[in-house]
Structure 1
Amino acid sequence: MAKSKNTEIKTTRTATILGHTAGFFMKLWSMTLRYDVNDKAGVVQPYIHSDPVIFALWHNRIFTMPPIWQRTGGKMRKSVVLTSASKDGTILATAMKVFGLGAIRGSSSRRAVSALIGMKKALREGFDVCVTPDGPKGPKYTVQPGVIKIAQATGTDIIPIHIRYSSAWRLNTWDDFVIPKPFSSVSVTFAPPFKVPKGISEVEFEERRIDLEERLRKATTE
């Protein structure tokens, strides 16, 4: 049976080449930056929180996350990144390979069920899962319910990641994608674990979603 256009993973040679190029560009660019890491969650060496977790950060901050992960000792953890099933998702997934990160393909608009199954499987196998809760297309700084659902279903803690830049450019994209200027400072905080209890009501579920959204929003530079 042919795949539906709504569930097909979009992959092209051009997207793959762009992904490799983007990954190496990110790696070289990161060498010019100064990093200040505050690990309130105990997820980088020395580990306090060694169980698999769900990392959550805004979509427009992903440029420096893989380099940060390598520099902080996070590379010693097994991690995968949730990317969309689109061609843009292929570019991101390929870029992540440059940093030794795997990818789960899917989003709220494409392959949502497959993505949820993939995330559950990864967590069971001891992998951390990194998500951008307002991606892949927004609205900007709005937490979609998927990250709350997967945390609730698996009993996994969410670790919000806050990234701030001393000086940066903003691109004309839906999320105002942020790129730090060369030789600027990058402040990174791994916030304390955010828990989503099982058996909560729909109202309580929405309260948890809004709570996570507000925590992530307050930590931005806007």
Structure 2
Amino acid sequence: MAFSTRLVTALIGAYLDLTLRTVRWRLVVDPSAQAVIDGDLQAVAVLWHEFLPFGPALWREAIRAGNPRRLHVMVSRHRDGQALARLFARWGLEVIAGSSDRVRADGGTRPKGGATALRRLLALRDQGAVLGLTPDGPRGPRRVPAAGAAMLAARTSLSLLPMAGATRPALRLRSWDRMRVPLPFARGVLVYGPLFDIGADRHAGGDEIVRAALDGVARIAAEALGRVDD
């Protein structure tokens, strides 16, 4: 990774360190999600790519609750994914290299990236870890689950935990995902939605189940701050 990229990553990390500590957070936790936060239940944590800056704050609450499980997040093998890996390491989040675009919609995996990542996910599941995915990452389109994302999560045989966050005020980037960036000393909300399962019919509507759940928690986060989700 080039020095300039490392410098930018370090600056972003320092900014988020400051911001996430100064935001006045309110938690919205579905009763079914509490067992995951407390560490009593494994799950696959899912959130739209635009909410990645909220990821450390979302999992920090689980750590505060005494959760001994590590969160392992799948990121792209591209440069953006490498930068995210460095950022996540600041908050104790582990990274799995390999992105959802390496998984075929018919349920198989391509020989590079996806198959290795899937084996790693299954091994981590057996070790008791909590897994993390951004179904519309790494390149979008925004809020459209990539082909095979539901299958990849379902193969772990774990429930999925939809998450989202919001602050007021906040910045919206002009990136493909319209990423939301919290501002220091803002009011914020972290949402942990109801657990759900893809089931055996994951290839017939599974991605739409994921989309509906993630849009739902995004809407809850926005409405908690008196805004309309967009």
Question: Do the aligned partners of 1:36 and 1:188 also contact (CA within 8 Å) in 2?
Answer: yes
The answer to whether the aligner puts 1:179 opposite 2:209 as a matched pair is no
Change in CA separation of 1:12 and 1:121 when aligned onto 2, cut-off 3 Å: farther
- Looking at structure 2, the residues matched to 191 and 177 of structure 1 have their Cα atoms a distance apart, in angstroms, of 20
Partner SS state of residue 38, structure 1: strand
Q: 1:69-88 to 2 correspondence within 5 Å? A: 69-72=59-62, 73=64, 76-88=68-80
Give, in whole Å, the separation in 1 of the partners of 2:124 and 2:2: 25
For residues 91-127 of structure 1, give each alpha carbon's deviation from its aligned partner in whole angstroms, at most 9, with x where no partner exists.
1001111001110011134512222222111111111
Q: Which of 113, 120, 125 is residue 127 of structure 2 equivalent to?
A: 125
The amino acid across from 2:76 in the alignment is S
TM value normalised by structure 1: 0.83
Q: Deviations for 1:38-89, whole angstroms, at most 9, x for unmatched residues?
A: 22111223x5xx2321000011111122033224426632111111101111
Q: 2:75·2:85 contact (CA, 8 Å) conserved in 1?
A: yes
Secondary structure, aligned partner of 1:166: strand
Partner of 2:115: 113
Q: Which of the residues 27, 36, 39 maps onto 2:29?
A: 39
CA contact (8 A) 2:25 2:190 kept: yes
SS in 2 for 1:37: strand
Q: Within 2, Cα distance between the matches of 1:154 and 1:143?
A: 17
1:62 maps to 2:55: no
Structure 1 partner of 2:145 = 143
Of all paired residues, the percent bearing the same amino acid is: 24
Question: 158, 161, 166: which is aligned to 1:159?
Answer: 161
Q: Which runs of 5+ in 2 are unaligned?
A: 103-112, 219-228
How far is 1:14 from its partner? 4.6
Residue among 5, 14, 20 paired with 1:30: 20
Is the 2:100–2:135 contact (alpha carbons within 8 Å) kept by the matching residues of 1?
Answer: no
- What is the Cα-based RMSD across aligned positions, in Å? 2.1
**How far is 1:30 from its partner?**
1.0
Range moving further from structure 2, 212-221 or 187-196 = 212-221
1:218 to 216, 219, 223: 216
Q: How many pairs align?
A: 205
- Give the Cα–Cα distance (whole angstroms) in 1 for the partners of residues 203 and 101 of structure 2: 21
- Residues 1:21 and 1:181: Cα distance change in structure 2 (over 3 Å): closer
TM-score, normalisation: structure 2? 0.80
- Please give the secondary structure, in 1, of the residue aligned with 2:155: helix
